[in-house]
Amino acid sequence: MPELNLGRPGLSVLPLGVGDAFSAIHHPTCMLVSRYETPAWDNNLVLIDCPQSIRKMMREADDGRFHGLDLPRIDTLILTHLHADHASGLETLAAFFKIAVGRKPRLVALPEVLEGVPRFLEAIKSLGTVDDLFDVLPVTEGLGIELFPPVGGFNDGMVLRVKRTNHPIPTSALRIWDQGRQLAYSCDTAFDGNLWEWLWRGPDPKMSAPADLVVHEVGHGIHANYDDLKRQGRTEPEWGKKLRLIHYPDDMLPMLEASPFQLMREGKLEIV
């Protein structure tokens, strides 16, 4: 794809949805992550969270640019938590891979998130257990796991790290390293200064490179407050370039569009 031919390796992110759980304007928040290598976006895609109507979301975000995005291109699903706006499509995805694709996608999540997955699959238990439907890979806080092997002469492959967030149920923020580039995503959380530092500078600031793109939620109540993000964001030298807001409620959209922050948009490719 011409827009991914940047003359350097790295990551790209395609938001499929950017809204909160109650949005009437946007799909629920989730995104696809791809290396930009050849052939970019043709396989080994990473899906972060899985709302219902995931195939329609992929189709709408594609609009012909990616030659027909669909579930068979997905290798790995990273499940951040089990609120329905992030996990209601699990049954659809699992059944589709079992019946239509004939292989198991990889499912990556915190152990306590994985414990709750069977209840989302109760209606299709005749197709098998969670282990029958997915290659399950638990990820624990503080330990990175390699999702894909190195390419292009790099020593490390695509590595995922997680950190628990301040949310009513077990939830993880993410950092993904690959080919010298780093993506950080807060997922659902109240504003947390320690999480902010982890997103921007990594688990060990003395050893970790700063993130190249930080995606942070914004919302009401149990979600990160706009004023906190505005105050903290402006302390970062490159916040205007590196920070994107996501998971925003409909009633905040006019204010956010008039704010200095950049927003993630459905179908708008972000280069990391």
- How many domains, the chain? 1
**φ, ψ for residue 154, nearest 5 deg:** -80, 150
Q: Is 56 left (phi over 0), alpha (psi -120 to 50) or beta?
A: alpha
What's the CA gap between 180 and 158, in Å, rounded? Answer: 10
Report the predicted TM-score, pTM, of the whole model to 2 decimal places: 0.94
Q: What is the CATH number of the domain that holds 88?
A: 3.60.15.10
Instruction: Give me the sign of the Cα torsion angle 38, 44, 50, 56.
Output: positive
Nearest C-alpha neighbor of 190 from the set 218, 215, 211 = 218
Task: Give the Å distances, CA to CA, from 135 to 44, 47, 74, 97, 191.
Answer: 14, 14, 13, 12, 33
Neighbours of 25 (CB within 10 A): 11
Residue 245 and residue 270 in contact, taking contact as beta carbons nearer than 8 Å: no
Mean pLDDT for each 10-residue chunk of the chain (272 residues)? 51 95 98 75 87 95 86 96 97 97 97 97 96 98 90 78 97 93 96 96 74 97 96 91 97 96 96 88
DSSP three-state, residue 25: coil
Q: The tokens of 13 are what? A: 């992110």
pLDDT of residue 10: 74
Expressed as residue numbers, the domain containing 160 is 2-271
Nearest C-alpha neighbor of 34 from the set 42, 26, 25 = 42
Residue 95 and residue 127 in contact, taking contact as beta carbons nearer than 8 Å: yes
pLDDT of residue 17: 98
